Chain A
Amino acid sequence: AQSVTQPDIHITVSEGASLELRCNYSYGATPYLFWYVQSPGQGLQLLLKYFSGDTLVQGIKGFEAEFKRSQSSFNLRKPSVHWSDAAEYFCAVGEHGSSNTGKLIFGQGTTLQVKP
């Protein structure tokens, strides 16, 4: 069955430091991958997505992610974290194929805390 794993439940980084959030997926076909961010009291906002092509994708707010098929991973990175990046981050795989509903299968989420 398809699934998404985010190994780190909680991460703390200092402002200005680099960030990498891990995501591993299990999916029978070519995965359609997403990263969402949820700020306190807010809905989910799409950061970036990968469907095909270049394995390094750029998103909003200075985030990027790299798709590595051999490792079944889609890790999110940012070179320099800002205090406003403190939020919960979700990796997801989108269902496609014969049903192609687009429903999302989410990881458990990683909470990012930023130290001043």
Chain B
Amino acid sequence: GAGVSQSPSNKVTEKGKDVELRCDPISGHTALYWYRQSLGQGLEFLIYFQGNSAPDKSGLPSDRFSAERTGGSVSTLTIQRTQQEDSAVYLCASSTPGTVTNEQFFGPGTRLTVL
């Protein structure tokens, strides 16, 4: 079946612009995670959605970052007023349900470059 998909695969933007990154999880997966992979910080957790529960936003690095998940499926990660340090690969993963014993399936990522 279809895996996790992310779009766009690459995004180049200018400093100060807003960007939206999209994630389509595997159908039926109730949990969705966003991670960021950058040269300086490695792979780090950003945010977690589980069903209709309030998301765990503990990993968001600043208030310029936000995410939503509509209808329990597609998720959008928004970065406002992008900075050069936001350049990274943004990975999305889904699982069902979102507990440690359930495998997370990762998408191919969106490579964001802020000029």
In whole Å, how far is B38's beta carbon from the nearest beta carbon of chain A?
11
User: Assuming A94-B100, A100-B100, A101-B48, is B91 touching A107 (CB within 8 A)?
Assistant: no
Q: Which of A43, A45, A96 is the one whose CB lies under 8 Å from B99?
A: A96
Contact residues on A (Cβ < 8 Å of other chain), bracket:
20 to 34
* Inter-chain contacts of B43 with A (CB < 8 A): 90, 92, 104, 106, 109
Give the A-B contact count at a CB cut-off of 8 A. Answer: 64
Chain B contributes a number of interface residues (CB within 8 A of A) equal to 27
For chain A residues 87-111, which have a beta carbon within 8 Å of chain B?
A: 90, 92, 94-96, 99-109
Distance A40 CA – B115 CA, assembled complex (angstroms): 23
The answer, yes or no, to whether B82 is at the interface (CB within 8 Å) is no
* Inter-chain contacts of B45 with A (CB < 8 A): 103-105
Residues of B within 8 A of A (CB): 3-4, 31, 33, 35, 42-45, 48, 50, 56, 59, 91, 93, 95, 98-104, 106-109
Residues of A within 8 A of B (CB): 32, 36, 41-46, 49, 51, 90, 92, 94-96, 99-109
